[in-house]
Amino acid sequence: MSDEENVELEQGGPSKSERKRQMHALQQLGERLVALPQAELDAINIEDERLREAVDQARRITARGGLRRQLQFIGKLMRSIDPSNIEEALQVRDQRHNNNVQKQHRIESARDKLISEGDDALGELLAIWPTAEPALLRQWRRQYQTELSKGNEKAHGKKLFRYLAGLEEAGSFED
């Protein structure tokens, strides 16, 4: 450790290494902003106009070295603002994304269970989605076997997935 870092530690300030970690974290936050789709970026409240312009410009840069320098500049600009509202917006976005992924996995699992177990899984699906039509689910389960022999099982599986997803969106899922 250098004499300068020892003096800073004695004075209670962050060490040079800690400041560097903080700068890298802000730069990574800027990289996440640049990588967002335009609609999601527009939804985030970026108060500093220079930062907003720098992010927009970075999205247009294709040269690797230029993009790296622009990201460093974004990190520098982020040091002069309070990034907490940006971090919160990105956390909300991540949580929403994770919830959507979990919902899709739940629907895929239910579909696969219905296809593999048939009527044995029907009761469980009806417990999850009480508004589902049992006759329709049985019919699609029987049709799956014929679609499988035709080599058209993916399209049929997607059809069943869309039906279950519609039930999920209708808000009939009970945790």
Confidence at residue 174, expressed as pLDDT on a 0 to 100 scale? 46
Q: Is pLDDT at 145 greater than 90 in this prediction?
A: no
Q: What is the mean pLDDT of residues 130-158?
A: 85
pLDDT above 60 (res 1): no
**Domain count of the fold of the chain:** 2
What does the pLDDT read at residue 2? 55
Confidence of residue 171 (pLDDT cuts 50, 70, 90): low
12: containing domain: 3-81
Q: Are 108 and 168 a contacting pair, CB within 8 Å?
A: no
Task: Say yes or no: 23 and 77 in one domain.
Answer: yes
Question: Do 13 and 61 fall into the same domain?
Answer: yes
Round the average pLDDT of the chain to a whole number and report it: 87
Domain co-membership, 157 together with 109: yes
The number of CA neighbours under 13 Å toward the Cβ of 133 is: 7
The answer to whether residues 12 and 73 belong to one domain is yes
In this prediction, residue 173 carries a pLDDT of 42
Q: Indicate whether 13 and 70 sit together in one domain.
A: yes
Residue 145 placed within a domain: yes
| Tens-digit pLDDT profile for residues 3-36 | 555 555 566 788 889 989 999 999 999 999 999 9
